[in-house]
Amino acid sequence: MKKLIKLLFASLLFQFTDIGKTEDLPKPYIQTTLTSDYMAPQGAVADGKSRQDWISVNPTKNLTLGIWENYSFKEHAVNDRDYVSSLGVPINSNLTASVGFQYWTYPTGSFGNFDSAETASLQYSGLIDGELKYTHLNRDSQTERGERVQAGLSKTINLTKDFLLKPFLSTCYVDNYYGLNGFSQVTPGISLNLSKGNFNASASASTQKGLVDSIKDKSYWSVSVGYQF
């Protein structure tokens, strides 16, 4: 199955590019993040520091293909590797809709064998930015069908031309999502973002308030750097 997913990503990439012209090939974006804990929208997944790597390309203006990995310093191995596709469509100058498919693999077996999900989201940019994202977790031999809805608000404050300060607030509602039900957490936080040419960096701190028994209160942080080739 892993080879099939890789083949799918490769075929989609070359379908939208002319491999005879190197300058026309989509240029990748890479990002690496160090985080105090492995966090997901519904709440903490695993305690302990992780390095999370992301690489993506845009074969067309609206299509994104990417691979994301979580390296656990506790396990000394990659325990989560996800293959992500997303198609975004601008509705107007402030609102964008997107749909996608994701295939999640777990090389160490810590979270099972694999999962897959469809996603849909709306992003609004204005005086206050907002995002609403829906995830449908597909049923398989080890996982029951589940639903997850994320909601977030943020405010971008320009400190200088290159520095942005962004306070944010997020929450998540789940329905049989890995056994979780109801509002799972609410999380306020703040991030500092630097953007200079093709380079960007950010640092954030958040405090999660658990709303169900299995999601505990937790403060966590992350720092990341990224580059668009």
Instruction: Give the pLDDT of residue 19.
Output: 47
Query: Does pLDDT of 34 surpass 80?
Result: yes
Instruction: Give the pLDDT of residue 10.
Output: 54
Q: Are 128 and 155 in contact (CB under 8 A)?
A: yes
Query: Does pLDDT of 229 surpass 50?
Result: yes
156, 189, 157, 155: which is closest to 170 by C-alpha? 189
212, 213, 159: which is closest to 190 by C-alpha? 159
Q: Are 155 and 164 in contact (CB under 8 A)?
A: no
Query: Does pLDDT of 18 surpass 60?
Result: no
Class of the CATH-defined domain 2-228? mainly beta
Mean pLDDT across the stretch 37-55? 93
> pLDDT for 97-150, tens place per residue?
999 999 999 999 988 889 999 999 999 999 999 999 999 999 987 889 999 999
Does this model's pTM top 0.95? My answer is no
In Å, how far from its chain's centre is CA 111? 17
> pLDDT for 57-103, tens place per residue?
999 989 999 999 999 999 999 999 999 999 999 999 999 999 999 99
Q: Are 208 and 222 in contact (CB under 8 A)?
A: no
Q: Name the helix (H) or strand (E) containing 189.
A: strand 180-196
DSSP notation for 64-112: EEEEEEEEETTTTEEEEEEEEEEEEEE-SSSEEEEEEEEEEE-TTSTT-
CA distances from 162 to 18, 29, 113, 117, 210 (A): 35, 19, 42, 36, 34
**What is residue 60's three-state secondary structure?**
coil
Q: Long-range contacts: 121-125, Cβ < 8 Å, 24+?
A: 121/97, 122/95, 122/96, 122/97, 123/95, 123/96, 123/98, 124/94, 124/95, 125/94
Q: Which residues contact 220 (CB under 8 A, 6 or more apart)?
A: 35, 36, 37, 39, 44, 205, 206, 208
The span from the CA of 51 to the CA of 35, in Å, is: 6
In the numeric block, which tokens belong to residue 213? 């028994």
Mean pLDDT across the stretch 18-25? 59
Query: Does pLDDT of 21 surpass 70?
Result: no
Instruction: Give the pLDDT of residue 44.
Output: 81
Mean pLDDT across the stretch 146-168? 97
Q: Give per-residue burial for 4-39: e unless 16+ CB within 10 Å, then b.
A: ebeeebeebbeeebeeeeeeeebeebebbbbbbbbb
Query: Does pLDDT of 42 surpass 60?
Result: yes
> pLDDT for 178-197, tens place per residue?
999 999 999 999 999 999 99
